[in-house]
Amino acid sequence: MLEPTLKVEGIRVAYGKKEILQGVDFELAEGETLCLLGANGSGKSTAMNAISGFVGCKAGTIKLEGQEIQNLPAHKSFALGMVQVSQSRDLFPQLSVEDNLKLGAHVRSRDTAKSELERVYGYFPRLRERRTQRVMTLSGGEQQMVAIGRAVMARPRVLLLDEPSGGLSPQFVNEIGTIISALKEDGATMLMIEQNLGLAFKVADRFIILRDGVVVDGGTVADYADDHEQIVRAIYL
């Protein structure tokens, strides 16, 4: 059997004495998109931050293509190909769109960065139009595009998307959905957190539901395509 690209086994994460994740397990195969669902405070973002190295694990293992990466600092996880687009986007507001994008491939060669930039502009033609514009002057949806584009510049092994539709207008949610689908078609392996079930089910292959720091349910999107209500019940009730 093929080794999963990402394998999370029994991870436990605590903030002080409060244990947020109490033994979470899941796997992500090459080219697959998995969606983490759950109510606020269920541990979705904590799980993602533990995978990308922004928070440490008390116990458990996280393997990227067989290599243990739990408790590696974020920049080392990034170098291995674990690239996160956080909820707050973490852009550089004073820099132009192109500078922000190039920073995603800063540690790669100049030629690679150039070809990656063209690839990103292929996904986001709107960003090419705005390439010299400072990020602080963009709309929320365009900023989200820059954040995703910057992550794509790094050619991630696993792309982690924390609520890509957060705070966006329906038009931008559609656009972001189309872009994520295009990335998926090109073989990207993605783990995403998404409250917008419409978007989640448009792009994800599988989902798992977290409640109080443990995985309580999961399945393939195709099985629940016509029954979103059952998933909502599983998340909130």
Partner 1 sequence: MNTNPSMERKSWKASRRLFYVVPLAAMFIPLVANDYLQFMVNIMMVYVLVTVGFNLVIGNLGQLAFANTAFFGIGAYTTAILMSHLGFTYDIALVSAAVVGGLAGLLASITALRGIRLYYLAIITMAFGELMRWVYIHADKITHGTDGLPLYNISVFGMSMHSDTAKFYVFLLITVLVVKGVSNLLRSRVGRAIIAIRDNEMTTASLGISTSNYIILTFVMSGSIVGIAGAMFAATTERVFPESFGLTEVIVHFAMVMVGGSGSLIGSVIGGAVLTILPEYFRQFPGMSELFFGGIIITILLFLPKGLASLLAKLSPVFHDRYYRD
Binding site for partner 1 (CB under 8 A): 52, 54, 74-75, 78-79, 84, 90-96, 99, 102-104, 106-107, 110, 130-134, 136-137, 150, 154
Shortest CB 102 distance to partner 1, Å: 6
Shortest CB 39 distance to partner 1, Å: 27
216 Rama class: left (phi>0) / alpha (psi -120 to 50) / beta: alpha
Q: Which residue lies nearer to partner 1 by CB, 81 or 218?
A: 81
Shortest CB 106 distance to partner 1, Å: 5
The amino acid sitting at 130 is: R
Are the C-beta atoms of 224 and 217 separated by less than 8 Å?
A: no
**Which of 110, 183, 197 is closest to 149 using CA atoms?**
183
Distance CA 214, CA 20 (A): 9
Shortest CB 18 distance to partner 1, Å: 23
Q: Which residue lies nearer to partner 1 by CB, 139 or 230?
A: 139
Facing residues of 36 across strands? 193, 208
Task: State whether residue 119 is helix, strand or coil.
Answer: helix
Shortest CB 178 distance to partner 1, Å: 24
Q: Which residue lies nearer to partner 1 by CB, 69 or 234?
A: 69
Q: Which residue lies nearer to partner 1 by CB, 79 or 216?
A: 79
Are the C-beta atoms of 198 and 166 separated by less than 8 Å?
A: no
Q: Which residue lies nearer to partner 1 by CB, 76 or 233?
A: 76
